[in-house]
Amino acid sequence: MQSAMALSFSQTSFTRPNHGLGSTGSVFSTPRSLRFCGLRREAFSFSPSNQLALNSDRIQFPSRKSFQVSASASSNGNGAPPKSFDYDLIIIGAGVGGHGAALHAVEKGLKTAIIEGDVVGGTCVNRGCVPSKALLAVSGRMRELQNEHHMKSFGLQVSAAGYDRQGVADHANNLATKIRNNLTNSMKALGVDILTGFGSVLGPQKVKYGKDNIITAKDIIIATGSVPFVPKGIEVDGKTVITSDHALKLESIPEWIAIVGSGYIGLEFSDVYTALGSEVTFIEALDQLMPGFDPEISKLAQRVLINPRKIDYHTGVFASKITPAKDGKPVLIELIDAKTKEPKDTLEVDAALIATGRAPFTNGLGLENVNVVTQRGFIPVDERMRVIDGNGTLVPNLYCIGDANGKLMLAHAASAQGISVVEQVSGRDHVLNHLSIPAACFTHPEISMVGLTEPQAKEKGEKEGFKVSVAKTSFKANTKALAENEGEGIAKMIYRPDNGEILGVHIFGLHAADLIHEASNAIALGTRIQDIKLAVHAHPTLSEVLDELFKAAKVESHATTRTGDAKIKLNTNQEDRRGRRRGDDEKQQPSLSEDLKDISTKPSSFFENIYVGVLSLLSRIFV
């Protein structure tokens, strides 16, 4: 799911999206050093000397002074609360987003409380990404052990692989319990007050939780997450027609299961079920499988993840009605054409998994008490996660992060948004660049991505008047991947050839979910291709897939230095030789006394030269 924000990292200005706040998308000039970035790095701090000058009809950014909490932060534990409030910060929802915000708030000295009506960890830890990774770890090993040709290529002989369903289910449940306890203990250790009960907004800076408990805070964050979305006409019984919440319990392994939806959730569960012996049928409303991925990646992934496995599919159809199995009858699925709504087919399967996405959990939060109207269930916010009311104005001191605002429904995005909000309420303005947040699908092999797809980038280039280029590299050329007999995969980068801006990176292959972060961090920090292609990667490692990808790009601009006035120099004698070749005859070798003087004034360079020398010597001995 792409963020609604559209930012050009190469420009020194940005356009505020129109949220009905009295602005029609005004363009503001920003400092040249501004970087819209991910997680903890602040964009820039406002002060009387650098505050943006805005017209009266534009949104007024609060100054650094106005962001300060009403009481100075205490160095003791969780900070001292202001006299007029119970807490500096109250967070409604103790999922990954709320947890990240709470820990960062304590670090900033804010007295913090977090309210949870269910269990700490939210969807991700208890019914989502954490237990699903446990199941996928099992499926990956099963898939490898079942591949006789793959094992023989290593010279290994393995007898028939089997599994214990309850043991697999226990592994997933135990992992969720362990992570949930870790999150709880980390907050308790830092002095975060964990309050039990359903939380809701009672009014400005006022929250109710449980039956009659009312508390106040200088600032409030809503982080209530989401629940599985079940379309109309589908009857879920939790046994034969299930959502991801039920599937993660792994109470049964059906012989034939239909999966409605071929996004992240559907793909990952297809990987699990087929590895454990099930046959899978995908039901996809759009005309192609994996519609949210880059088209080229989707095509390759289908060839590797779908076609060779016991998977068939129906595209361009809706499951208009699904009836659970009962009285010895199978699950009945009625399909209609997605465009004409005419009946298409009827399927009879053992089970059906509804993987049609997630819906925000925002009912009963008391939003009407602050005049907030949801949009398709999502709480409207600006780019600083500040909540917008029904009149299009900002609700003071109220923020919403994570799935509940719909900007980017990923657990780590929620955490990043929470940290961004804490930066703001503690006195530092921060704008999170959602295009720098990576996403991953943990199939075997994995899929990962950050930024724009190729069609999105080309559309942006046509609108803004710049060219878009694409660079690719294959895992088949990577030594480490070949050593693992896992050469299937590609890495793809979409970029601007005129200035080296990275617009998007997509990877399909071994450990793609780990590899994507070099690209996402480059986007977050505004690093250009001509700079990052000079970085050194250890050999032989999978990271060289990205190294080759950056080097394959053809950029018109030359490398730049980001270390102020300092020059980038090689740590060898080559630069001196190059200088002499350029006709720099007046350059003389420094005397011994000059060398010693240079060492005494620049000890770091001296030790760096020793380190490089040792590495060079070792390479000559052992390579």
Provide the annotated active-site residues: 539
Distances from the Cα of 475 to the Cα of 25, 110, 186, 382, 490, angstroms: 43, 47, 39, 40, 6
Long-range contacts (CB closer than 8 Å, 24 or more residues apart) made by 605-609: 608/571, 609/571
Please give the single-letter amino acid code of residue 241.
V
Q: Can you tell me the distance from the alpha carbon of 159 to that of 165, in angstroms, rounded to the nearest whole number? A: 19
Q: Say if CB 408 and CB 1 are below 8 A apart.
A: yes
Structure tokens at 70: 């009403």
Q: Can you tell me the distance from the alpha carbon of 210 to that of 308, in angstroms, rounded to the nearest whole number? A: 52
- Least Cα distance to 20 among 323, 390, 365 occurs for 390
Q: Can you tell me the distance from the alpha carbon of 595 to that of 455, in angstroms, rounded to the nearest whole number? A: 56
Please give the span between the terminal C-alpha atoms of the chain, in angstroms, as a whole number: 47
Q: Can you tell me the distance from the alpha carbon of 603 to that of 133, in angstroms, rounded to the nearest whole number? A: 47
Q: Say if CB 299 and CB 293 are below 8 A apart.
A: no
DSSP annotation of 49 reads T
Structure tokens at 133: 């990774």
Answer whether the bond into residue 540 is a cis peptide, omega within 30°: yes
Q: Can you tell me the distance from the alpha carbon of 202 to that of 190, in angstroms, rounded to the nearest whole number? A: 27
* Rounded to 5°, angle at Cα 132 from 199 and 437: 70
Q: Can you tell me the distance from the alpha carbon of 401 to that of 409, in angstroms, rounded to the nearest whole number? A: 10
Beta bridge partners of residue 319, listed in sequence order: 335
Q: Say if CB 257 and CB 390 are below 8 A apart.
A: no
